[in-house]
Amino acid sequence: MAVKSTHLVSVKHRISAGERARSNKHRGGVLWFTGLPGSGKSTLAVETEHKLFNNGRQAYVLDGDNVRQGLSSDLGFSHDDRTENIRRIGEVAALFADAGFIVITAFISPYLKDREIARQAAGAIFHEIYIDSDIETCERRDPKGHYKLARAGKIPEFTGVSAPYEAPESPEFSVDTQNLSVEECVDELVQYIDLKLVG
C-alpha cells in the first residue's frame, strides 16, 4: 500500500497501557481467529465475548460480514481486496486493544502474509487463534448455504472451494471445533485469554 500521508506528528496519550490495565483488571489484546468458512469463528467469537463480559472483562467482537457492510463496503473478495480488508481490520483491532479491550476478530483471513500484517499492527499483544475444522465438516455444516452456492459456481473466489486457505503454521492457540462442542471450545478459549491477559 502506498503511504500518502506526510508530516504527521503523533499526540501522546496521558493514560498509559498499565493504567488502563489496572482500571480494567486485565490487559488489552487481539485474539485473531482464523479458519475456513463454517469452522466456527463467529459462533465462538460471540460466545467467548459473552462469557468474558459476564466475567467483568471489556471484550468486543469484530466480525467479517459486519465490517464488510461499513468499514470495507468498497472492497470485494479478490486477493488485493481481501488483503486491504484485513489490513484495515488489523489497524482497528490494534486501536481497540490499545484502548484496553480484549478484541476478538472473526475473519477467514486466508492468507498467511495478511495475518502477519495484522500481527505487525498490534505487536506483542497479537494472538493468532486457529479455529480448526476440516473442509468436509465445514461443508456439512454450511450454516450460510455458501458452500452449496460455491460448488454450483454461484459464488466466485470462495475460500476452500475456489480460493485458497493457508492454515496457520504456528498459531499461539488453536481449538478443535470438529471434535469439541461449542461449550468446550469456549471454555478453552476463556482459559487461554485469562492466562494471557488477566493477572
Ligand X SMILES: Nc1ncnc2c1ncn2[C@@H]1O[C@H](COP(=O)(O)OP(=O)(O)OP(=O)(O)O)[C@@H](O)[C@H]1O
Could you list the active site residues?
109
In the complex, least distance from residue 55 CB atom to ligand X, rounded to whole angstroms: 20
Strands of 126-132's sheet, edge to edge? Answer: 59-63, 102-106, 29-34, 126-132, 173-176
The 22-41 site mask, x for binding Mg ion (CB under 5 A), equals: -------------------x
Please list every residue from 154 through 193 that binds Mg ion, using CB under 5 A.
none
CA neighbours closer than 13 Å in the CB half-sphere of residue 86:
25
Q: Which three cell numbers stand for residue 122?
A: 498490534
By beta-carbon proximity to ligand X, the closer residue of 97 and 155 is: 155
**Chain position carrying cell 485473531:** 32
Pick the binder of ligand X from 118, 161, 185, 190 (CB under 6 A): 185
Task: Measure CA 124 to chain center.
Answer: 16
Applying CB under 6 A, does 143 fall inside the site for ligand X? yes
By beta-carbon proximity to ligand X, the closer residue of 88 and 141 is: 141
Pick the binder of ligand X from 28, 29, 40, 100 (CB under 6 A): 40
Among all residues, whose Cβ is closest to Mg ion?
42
In the complex, least distance from residue 181 CB atom to ligand X, rounded to whole angstroms: 5
Residue 62 per-residue DSSP state: E
Distance from C-alpha of 173 to C-alpha of 129, rounded to nearest angstrom = 5
Residue 169 per-residue DSSP state: S
Residue burial 22-53, b: 16+ Cβ < 10 Å; e: rest? eebebbbbbbbbbbbbbbbbbbbbebbbebbe
Applying CB under 5 A, does 42 fall inside the site for Mg ion? yes
37 binds, among Mg ion, ligand X, none (CB under 5 to 8 A by kind): ligand X
Applying CB under 6 A, does 144 fall inside the site for ligand X? yes
Pick the binder of ligand X from 26, 27, 177, 192 (CB under 6 A): 177
Q: Which stretch binds ligand X (CB under 6 A): 41-49, 92-100, 109-117, 149-157?
A: 41-49
